[in-house]
C-alpha cells in the first residue's frame, strides 16, 4: 500500500453514524478499518464501500480484541494509524429506576470502557503517525445531566473528561484528541425513543450530518481548533450558552425541556 494513504479506524461502523463515517472516509481515499459486533451490517458496508474498506468484528469492551484488530489493520500502513474514531455506543432511555441495571452497566462498559480501551491500545499506532487525530463521539447530553438519559448522559461526561485530559497529555506525541457533540440523531439508536427532551426538541440530525463533521474535524489543518465541536444548530446554541450560563440556569433549562407537555 502507498505510504501516503492515511488510515482511519472506526468503531460501531455497521450502521448509523459509524457506517456513514466509514463511507465518507472511503470516498476521500482513506484506508478504512470498519469494526463492529454486527457482522451482517459490516458485510453490507464492505459491499458498498469498495476496496478501501477493511471490515471486521470488534467487541470494544475486550482490550485483547482491540490489540489484535489494531495489529492486523495497521500492518498495511507500517503500523501507523492516522485517525481513530470512537463511535460505538448504546443507549437506553427512560426513568433511571425503571431501566434494568444490566442495561445501564452495559452502557458504561461500551460507551466509556470502549473509548478507554480504544485510546489506550491505539496509542502506539497513533504515535507513529504524523499529526494523528482521535475523534470521540460525545453528546450534547454531556452539557448538563439529562433526565430520562441519566446513565447515558453520565457516560458522555466521562468521554468529555477523558478527551480533555488526553488532548493535553498527548500533544507531546503530536496527537490531537477531540470530542463531537451532536444532539439527537435519526438512527436506529433513537428509533421509537420518546423522552420529554426529544419530544420538545425533535430529532433533526442525520447520520450523514455527523459523519461530515467527523471527517471535517479529522482532516482540519487547524492544529489547535478546540477540544469540543458541537454538531448541528441546536447543539451549537446549547454548547455556546453553557459556556456563559451559571449552573442554576442550565438546570432550569433542562427542567423546562424535561417538563410534561400538554
Please identify which residue in the block is written with the cell numbers 485530559: 165
For 148, the grid coordinates are 430520562
Which DSSP state fits 80?
A: -
C-alpha separations of 246 from 236, 241, 242 in Å: 17, 10, 8
Catalytic residue among 30, 35, 152, 181: 152
Residues 181, 256, 150, CA angle at the centre, nearest 5°?
Answer: 50
Nearest-CA neighbor of 139 among 176, 111, 169? 111
Cβ-contact 213, 206 below 8 angstroms: no
Where helices occur in the chain by DSSP H, the ranges are 16-27, 39-49, 63-74, 101-107, 114-128, 150-169, 196-201, 207-219, 233-244, 247-257
Give the per-residue SS3 of 105-126. Answer: HHHHHHHHHHHHHHHHHHHHHH
Q: Is 35 a catalytic residue?
A: no
Nearest to 85 by CA among 164, 168, 13: 13
| Residues designated as active site | 152
Amino acid at each position: 500500500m502507498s505510504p501516503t494513504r492515511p488510515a482511519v479506524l472506526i468503531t460501531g461502523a455497521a450502521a448509523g453514524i459509524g457506517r456513514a463515517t466509514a463511507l465518507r472516509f472511503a470516498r476521500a481515499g482513506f484506508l478504512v478499518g470498519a469494526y463492529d459486533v454486527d457482522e451482517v451490517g459490516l458485510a453490507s458496508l464492505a459491499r458498498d464501500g469498495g476496496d478501501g474498506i477493511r471490515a471486521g468484528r470488534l467487541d470494544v469492551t475486550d482490550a485483547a480484541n482491540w490489540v489484535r484488530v489494531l495489529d492486523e489493520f495497521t500492518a498495511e500502513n507500517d503500523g501507523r494509524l492516522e485517525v481513530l474514531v470512537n463511535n460505538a455506543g448504546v443507549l437506553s432511555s427512560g426513568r433511571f429506576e425503571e431501566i434494568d441495571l444490566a442495561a445501564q452497566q452495559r452502557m458504561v462498559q461500551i460507551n466509556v470502557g470502549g473509548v478507554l480501551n480504544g485510546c489506550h491500545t491505539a496509542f502506539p499506532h497513533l504515535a507513529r503517525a504524523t499529526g494523528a487525530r482521535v475523534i470521540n463521539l460525545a453528546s450534547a447530553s454531556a452539557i448538563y445531566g439529562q433526565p430520562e438519559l441519566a446513565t447515558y448522559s453520565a457516560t458522555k461526561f466521562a468521554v468529555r473528561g477523558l478527551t480533555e485530559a488526553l488532548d493535553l497529555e498527548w500533544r507531546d506525541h503530536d496527537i490531537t484528541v477531540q470530542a463531537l457533540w451532536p444532539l439527537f440523531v435519526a438512527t436506529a439508536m433513537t428509533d421509537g425513543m420518546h423522552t420529554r427532551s426529544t419530544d420538545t426538541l425533535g430529532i433533526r440530525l442525520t447520520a450523514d450530518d455527523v459523519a461530515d463533521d467527523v471527517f471535517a474535524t479529522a482532516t482540519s489543518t487547524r492544529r489547535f481548533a478546540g477540544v469540543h465541536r458541537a454538531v448541528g444548530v441546536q447543539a451549537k446554541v446549547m454548547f455556546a450558552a453553557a459556556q456563559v450560563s451559571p449552573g442554576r440556569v442550565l438546570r432550569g433549562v433542562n427542567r423546562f425541556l424535561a417538563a410534561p407537555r400538554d
